[in-house]
Chains A and B, each alone.
Chain A
Amino acid sequence: MLQVLLSGLAIGGVYGLVALGFAIAFYVTRVINFAQGQLLMVAVMVTAALSTTGLPTWLAALAGLVGSAALGVLMYFVAVGPVLAYDRFSFAWLVSTLGVAIVLETGAAIIWGPTSRAFPAMLNNNTVHVGTGSLTLQQLLTVVVALLAVAGFELVRRFTLFGKLGMAISADPEMARAVGSNTRLAAGVAFGVAGLLAGVAGVLIGPITFANPYLGDTYGIAGFVALMIGGIERPAGAMAGGFILGLLDEGANHFINSHASDWFPFVVVVAVLLLAPRGLFSSGEVLRRLRRTTTPMAEGTS
C-alpha cells in the first residue's frame, strides 16, 4: 500500500512535469503544444546518445535539457507564432504542433534508429527505504524536482515582473502588446520553459524507460491526461493532476490488474470532464456550478 503511494508519487512527478510544461505554454499563448511529449523524447535521446560517446552523464543530461528547451523555443517561432499571427482565435496550431511532433519523432527514429537504446542508470541503483516501502534515489529526486518546479513557477508568476507579464499576455495579448510588452519573446520563453520541463521529466524517467524515439507519444498523452484532470487554466493544478494520475496508475495496476493503467486513467479523465469540465483545481469551478444551478430557481420564485 505504502509502496503504491511512493511509486505513484514518483511517476506522478514525471507526468506532472510534462503537464506543467503544457500548462505554462498554454498559460501564455492559449496553445496546447502537442509536441510536448516529443520534447521529452529529445532530451532522452540526446542524453543517451552523448553518454555512449563517453561524455560524463551529467554533461550529457545537461545537453539533453538544452536541446529540448532550444527546440521548444524554435518550434514556437517556426510553427506556432506565425499561425497565431495569422489568426489568434483559430485552432490551426493543433495541426502545426502535431506536425512538429511527427517531424521530431521520425527525425529521431531516422538519426538513432527506431529501437530502444541504453540510458545511463544515474541514481536508479541507489535505494532508500521509507517505512515498509522503498524508492530509488532517482524516484525521490523526481518528486523533489517536481515540487521545486511548481513552487518556482508560482514564485516567478506572483513576484516577478516577468510573471506578471505572462499573466497580462494570457489575459489579453493585444493589450499587453499595446502597453509595450514583447509578447512574442515572452511566448518564446514560455515554450522554452515548457521544453525544459519536458526535458527534465525525460532525464528523470530515462533510466526506467530507456531511450526510444516513440516515448513522446506515451508521455505526451499521459501529461495531457494529467492536465485535463488538474485543469488547464492553472499550471499548479496541472502538477497536482500529474500526481493524481500517477497514484491512479499505480493503484489501478496494484488493485485491478497489471495492465489496468492502460485504460483506467481514461475512465478518470472522462469522469473529470463530465463533472468538472475545467479540471479539479480550476478556480471557483464548484462555486460557479452551484451558482448556475441555483440562479434559475431564484428567478422562478421571484
Chain B
Amino acid sequence: MTPTALGRATAAVASRRTAGRLVVPVVLVAYVLVTHVVALTSSYTQSLVLVAAVFGILAVSLDLVAGMAGLYSLGHAGLFALGAYATTLLNADLDWNIFVLLPVCLVGVGLVGIVLGLLSFRVSGLYFAITTFVFTLVIGVLASDLTITGGLQGLPGPIFPDFPYAIGGFGTALVWCVAACLLVTVGAVWSIRRSALYPVLLAIRDAEPFAAANGVRTRLVKVLVFGVSAAMAGMAGWAFSFLGFVSPGQFSWTVSVNILVMVILGGMNTTWGPLIGAAFISVFPVYVHIDPLWQELVFGAIFVLVIVFAPSGVLGVLTKLVRRPGGTTRTPVSAAEADALAVDPAALRSTDLPVHTMSVDPDLPAVECSGIRFRYGSGSLVLDNVNLTVRPGTIHGLIGPNGSGKSTLVNLIAGHLRPDEGSIRLHGRPVHGLDAAARPGHGLSRTFQTAVLVRELRARDNVAIGLYRTTPRIGRRALVWPVLPGARRDSRATATKAGAALDAVGMSRWRESRVADVPHGVEQLTQLAAACVGEPSVLVLDEPLAGLSTGEVTAVAGILTELKRAGVSVIIIEHQTKFIFEMCDEVTVLAAGSLVTTGPAAAVRVDSRVREVYLGQ
C-alpha cells in the first residue's frame, strides 16, 4: 500500500485524500438507501439482517480491543447479555422507557467493562482472556439460574415502537434504529483508526515499553478502550432485546468465540473485515440448508480452516492478491545498498531537532541517583549503593563490562523498574516513585537497546507516538476525530513535526516506509527521532550504536553534538569506548553492580582501575 518512492507516496496520499473525501458521502448515501430498502422488506428478511447487524456491532467493537489493542476479550457475549437483559428487565419490571435505557446500557455496560479491565490487566494478556471468559460464564450462570431472568426459557423482549403514521413510509422503525447503532459503532471505530490515538493503540499492542517510554499510561488506555468496546457491546444487547426472546443460550461463551471468529474471518483491524465476518457467520446457517448437526460440524471446521490457512482473514487474502501483480509494496533492497541508503549525511539537518522548552534550574543536576540498591525479585543484588550525577547540558557516558548493571540502572532512571532503596531526581524533583509513563512529563526520553516499534506503521507514525504527551485530549477526541477541525489540524501538525524529526536524523527517504520494510539502522534512528520529537531535557540512550554502520555512527555523533548545543543532557550506554571518550563530558564506570569511578572523560580514561575491569589491561 505504501510505495517506497517519496514522490509517488505524496501523489498517492494526495489522490487518496481526494478519493477519501468522496468515499464517505457515497458510502453514507448507499447505507441510507440500503436501510430504507430493508425497512420495507418482509419481516423474515428484516430479522435476518437485524441479527447480522447486531453481530456487526459486536464484531466491530471486539475488533477495537482485539485488533487494535491486542486484547482478546472473551467477555463480549457476557457484556452483550448484560445490555439485553438490562433492557428487557428494566422495561418490563420498572417500566423504564426504552430510549432512556439506551444511554443506561451504554454507560452501565461500559462501566462494567472498565471494572473488568481494572481487575484483569494486573497480570497478562492471557489473564485478560481468562477473566473475560469467566465473566461470560458467570453471566450465563446468573441468566439461567436466577428466577428474575426467566431461567433457561428466557424472557420476551420489549416491543420497539413504530414510526408515527405521518412518516410510516420509511418502513420498520427498528431497522432504522439498529442501522443507526451500527453506523455509530462503525463510525466511532473508523474515526479512532484515523485519530492520533491509533498509532498509540498499536504501540500498546506491539511495543508496550516503547509506548510507556513516550508517556502513554498503557494500562489506563487499555482499560478505557475496553470500556468503550464494552459500551458498544451493551448497545448491541439493547438493540438485540427488541428482536424477540432473550434467553441464556443466545449469550453462551461460544458466542464470544463466534464474535472473535467473525473478526478474524473478515480481517482483523480493518474497517470492513468484522462486518464481512459478521454477515457471513450470521447468514451462513440460514442459507445453507443442511442437517443442523452437519451445519454445526461445518461451522467448527471453518473455524479451524480459517485460522490455519487464512489467519489474516478474507481482506488479508484479498489485499495479498491485489498487491502481488502490482509489486509496488516492497522494492527489494540488497544489504549493501540498504547500508548506503540508510543515512544520507547531506540530508542530516540536525539543527532542526526539536529542543526542549521546559524551564529547568541550570544549577541543579539534570539526573541525580543516590544510594541506588536493586535486585530482581529475591535474587542477588544487581546494583549496590550506586550514585550517578549528570550535570545539565552534558553528555554522560555509562560504561562497564556485560552484566555490570548499566541497563538496569537506565531502566531505573527511566522508570521501567523501581529501586529497592535510594532516590532518583530529575532536575531536583524526586521521580523514583513514578512509573515509566510519567517520566516524559519530567523531561526524560529514552531509547531501547533493540528498537521495538510498530512494524505495520510508517516510520513517521511511529515518531508521532513521541508527540502523544504534548497533543491535548487525544483520547477524548478520538471517537469523533475526523470531524473536528482542531483534531485534523493537530494531525497535520503532528505529521509535520514527526517528518521534521526524521529529516533531522537524516531519515527523510524512509519517512513513508513501513518499519517492517526498513533496515535495522533506520529502525534505531527512527526510535531516536521518536525520543527527540517530544522535546526532552534529558535523553537516555541504551547502546544507540548497536548494529549501526560507520555512516550511521557518524550521524548519531552529529545528532548528539546538536542536542548538547541545544542544552539537552544525555546519558549514553555504549561499548565503543572510542566513541564514548570522544563524545562524553563525563563518564561513569560500573562493574558487578558497584560504582568503579565517575568523573571527567579524560580522567576516567587513564584511571588504572577502569583499565583493569573494563579495558582488560
Contact = CB atoms under 8 A, between A and B. Distances in A.
B408 interface: no
Contacts of B130: 32, 228, 232, 273
B553 interface: no
Interface string B256-268: 0100110010000
Interface string B64-92: 00000000101000000000000000000
A245 to B, nearest CB: 14
A269 B134 contact: yes
Contact of B257 (A86, A95, A278): A95
B433 A100 contact: no
Contact of B129 (A94, A105, A298, A299): A94
B421 to A, nearest CB: 6
Contact of B293 (A94, A106, A270): A106
A99 interface: yes
B145 interface: yes
A163 interface: no
A78 B305 CA distance: 9
A266 B302 contact: no
B387 interface: no
Nearest to B419: A299
B138 A270 contact: yes
Contacts of B301: 99, 103
B493 to A, nearest CB: 34
Nearest to A81: B308
Interface in A248-275: 259, 262-263, 266, 269-270, 273-274
A69 B204 CA distance: 39
Given A94-B257, A266-B138, A299-B419, 15 more contacts: A83-B307, A94-B129, A95-B257, A95-B306, A99-B301, A103-B301, A262-B141, A263-B145, A270-B138, A273-B130, A273-B131, A274-B119, A278-B123, A295-B420, A300-B433
A100 B264 contact: no
A232 B123 CA distance: 13
24 contacts: A30-B126, A32-B130, A83-B307, A87-B311, A91-B129, A95-B260, A95-B264, A95-B303, A96-B303, A96-B308, A99-B302, A100-B304, A102-B296, A103-B301, A110-B294, A262-B144, A263-B141, A263-B145, A273-B119, A273-B130, A277-B123, A277-B131, A295-B418, A298-B420
B401 interface: no
A223 to B, nearest CB: 13
Interface in A41-94: 78-79, 82-83, 86-87, 90-94
Contacts of B142: 263
Instruction: Return the 5 tightest CB-CB contacts between A and B, nearest first.
Output: A99-B303, A102-B300, A99-B304, A103-B300, A91-B72
Nearest to A86: B311
B137 A273 contact: no
B272 interface: no
B385 to A, nearest CB: 13
B299 A102 contact: yes
A168 interface: no
Contacts of A274: 119
Interface of A: 30, 32, 78-79, 82-83, 86-87, 90-96, 98-103, 105-107, 109-110, 114, 221, 228, 232, 259, 262-263, 266, 269-270, 273-274, 277-278, 295-296, 298-300, 302
Given A110-B293, A302-B421, A262 B303 contact: no
A19 to B, nearest CB: 13
B252 to A, nearest CB: 9
B308 A266 contact: no
Q: Which of A100, A109, A277 has the most CB of B within 10 A?
A: A277
Given A91-B125, A94-B129, A228 B418 contact: no
Interface string B239-263: 0000000000000001001001100
B297 interface: yes
B432 interface: yes
A95 B254 CA distance: 10
B407 interface: no
A98 B254 contact: yes
B423 interface: yes
A295 B420 CA distance: 7
A93 to B, nearest CB: 8
Provide the main secondary structure of the chain B interface: helix
A299 B433 contact: yes
Contacts of A270: 134, 138
A96 B305 CA distance: 8
B199 to A, nearest CB: 20
A298 B307 CA distance: 49
A101 B432 CA distance: 49
B209 interface: no
A109 B264 CA distance: 28
Interface of B: 72, 74, 119-120, 122-123, 125-127, 129-131, 134, 137-138, 141-142, 144-145, 254, 257, 260-261, 264, 293-294, 296-297, 299-304, 306-308, 311, 418-423, 432-433
Contacts of A298: 420-421
User: Which of B74, B260, B297 neighbours the largest number of chain A CB atoms within 10 Å of its CB?
Assistant: B297
B432 A299 contact: yes
Contacts, number: 118
A221 B264 CA distance: 24
Contact of A266 (B74, B134, B303, B433): B134
B431 to A, nearest CB: 11
Contact of A83 (B144, B294, B311, B433): B311
A103 B304 contact: yes
Contacts of B144: 262
B393 to A, nearest CB: 28
A262 B297 CA distance: 28
A274 B122 CA distance: 10
A262 B127 CA distance: 24
Contacts of A299: 418-419, 432-433
Contacts of A107: 297
A62 B421 CA distance: 61
A73 B74 CA distance: 26
Contacts of B420: 295, 298
B430 to A, nearest CB: 9
A262 B304 contact: no
B381 to A, nearest CB: 16
Contacts of B123: 277-278
A87 to B, nearest CB: 7
B304 A101 contact: no
Contacts of A105: 296, 300
Contacts of B419: 299
Nearest to B72: A91
B293 A114 contact: yes
A262 B306 CA distance: 34
Contacts of A86: 311
A302 B134 contact: no
B423 to A, nearest CB: 6
A277 B307 CA distance: 29
Contacts of A99: 300-304, 307
Contacts of A82: 308
A92 B300 contact: no
Contacts of B145: 259, 262-263
A163 B307 CA distance: 30
Contacts of A32: 126, 130
A32 B129 CA distance: 11
Contacts of A100: 300, 304
A82 B307 CA distance: 9
Given A270-B138, A274-B119, A299-B432, A95 B422 contact: no
Q: Which of B72, B138, B297, B303 has the most CB of A within 10 A?
A: B303
A106 B141 contact: no
